[in-house]
């Protein structure tokens, strides 16, 4: 009987170890595959990087747009393109003043199914009042897609003044906005979601989930998603580490909240079915 008990205990321990080794699957909502990454990370290699990191789905934008479309052709089950207004000499610092942006976006949206428009930068609330940004918001509403916005809180408020019904994915949770501001924004605007690329150090300084961020992550767990932001090639080189930084703080949340943030929210919001073979979460209760 004693020997049987030892066998049972050993089997349970092995099962626990196997579960602990499984990784929480990730839906990455902020991937760039822009021109500088194409040569060092050709499509097959870039897709391998995603798979090796346990990323089952990814929203990908690029400058120029050809990058995301190429990546989608190589892995349509993983990659969904997002349309960026940047191309040629038009980038983060001048896109809001380019009179050709709205026409460019409209032509692309007619030809290809995109999950959203962005990521684009808004450095000042006054930029929202111009015809380019207003036209971009109108296109997002016409095609019922998200806009992915890199900004502080004030430009987000300005966008909702333009159209209270526009759907916004707030990049980096405002980058430097504190947890209290992120919570206040999510509370005020029901069609606002956020992704937390670049925020692991704030969310879990030293690797331990902060009490303030834990409260926000749990209360708004259905409105928060994961992002990596491979805006420069070195972030492709360290991609697995970036994703694992998120997994470490996700593992400190209850399983249902962790899974919502890791992949379920994005799957539901973008109407993209999660991979059925995704590993189950091992988050602590």
Q: Which residue, among 55, 51, 52, 53, has the nearest Cα to 29 in the 3D structure? A: 55
Place of tokens 């190429």: 70
Residue 237, domain CATH:
3.20.20.140
Could you tell me if residue 7 is inside a domain? no
Length of the chain: 285
Could you tell me if residue 283 is inside a domain? no
Cα–Cα dist 191/116, whole Å: 14
Could you tell me if residue 35 is inside a domain? yes
Could you tell me if residue 10 is inside a domain? no
Could you tell me if residue 11 is inside a domain? no
CA angle 181, 184, 189 (to 5 degrees): 125
Ordered strands of the 26-32 beta sheet: 26-32, 55-61, 79-81
pLDDT in tens, 115-150: 999 999 999 999 999 999 999 999 999 999 999 999
Neighbours of 194 (CB within 10 A): 26
pTM, entire model: 0.89
Could you tell me if residue 278 is inside a domain? no
Could you tell me if residue 248 is inside a domain? yes
Helix (H) or strand (E) holding 139: helix 131-142
Domain with 164 in it:
25-269
pLDDT in tens, 207-232: 999 999 999 999 999 999 999 999 99
Q: Are 32 and 61 in contact (CB under 8 A)?
A: yes
- Looking at the structure of the chain, the number of domains it has is 1
- What is the pLDDT tens value at each position of the chain, 285 positions in all? 444 443 333 333 333 333 444 789 999 999 999 999 999 999 999 999 999 999 999 999 999 999 999 999 999 999 999 999 999 999 999 999 999 999 999 999 999 999 999 999 999 999 999 999 999 999 999 999 999 999 999 999 999 999 999 999 999 999 999 999 999 999 999 999 999 999 999 999 999 999 999 999 999 999 999 999 999 999 999 999 999 999 999 999 999 999 999 999 999 999 987 654 444 433 333
Handedness of CA 9, 15, 16, 18 (dihedral sign): positive
Cα-to-chain-centroid distance, residue 150: 12
The string of DSSP codes covering 75-114 is -TTTEEE-B-S-BTTB-TTTGGG-TTHHHHHHHHHHHS--
Q: Are 279 and 25 in contact (CB under 8 A)?
A: yes
Could you tell me if residue 15 is inside a domain? no
């Amino acid at each position: 009987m004693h020997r049987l008990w030892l066998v049972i205990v050993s089997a349970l321990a092995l099962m626990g170890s196997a579960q602990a080794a499984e990784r929480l699957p990730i839906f990455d909502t902020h991937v760039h595959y822009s021109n500088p990454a194409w040569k060092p990370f050709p499509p097959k290699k870039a897709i391998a990087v995603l798979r090796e990191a346990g990323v089952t789905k990814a929203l990908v934008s690029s400058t120029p747009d050809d990058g995301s479309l190429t990546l989608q052709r190589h892995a349509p089950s993983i990659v969904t393109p997002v349309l960026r207004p940047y191309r040629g000499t038009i980038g983060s610092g001048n896109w809001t003043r380019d009179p050709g942006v709205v026409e460019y976006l409209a032509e692309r949206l007619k030809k290809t199914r995109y999950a959203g428009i962005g990521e684009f930068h808004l450095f000042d609330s006054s930029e929202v009042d111009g015809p380019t940004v207003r036209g971009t918001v109108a296109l997002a509403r016409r095609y019922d897609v998200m806009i992915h916005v890199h900004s502080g809180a004030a430009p987000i408020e300005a966008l909702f003044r333009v159209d209270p019904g526009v759907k916004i994915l707030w990049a980096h949770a405002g980058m430097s906005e504190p947890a209290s501001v992120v919570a206040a924004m999510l509370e005020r605007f029901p069609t606002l979601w956020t992704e937390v690329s670049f925020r692991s150090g704030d969310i879990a300084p030293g690797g331990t989930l902060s009490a303030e961020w834990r409260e926000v992550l749990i209360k708004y767990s259905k409105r928060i998603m994961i992002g990596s932001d491979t805006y420069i090639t070195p972030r492709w080189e360290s991609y697995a580490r970036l994703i694992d930084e998120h997994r470490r703080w996700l593992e400190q949340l209850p399983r249902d909240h962790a899974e919502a943030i890791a992949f379920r929210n994005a799957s539901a919001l973008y109407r993209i079915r999660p991979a059925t073979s995704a590993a189950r979460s091992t988050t602590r209760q």
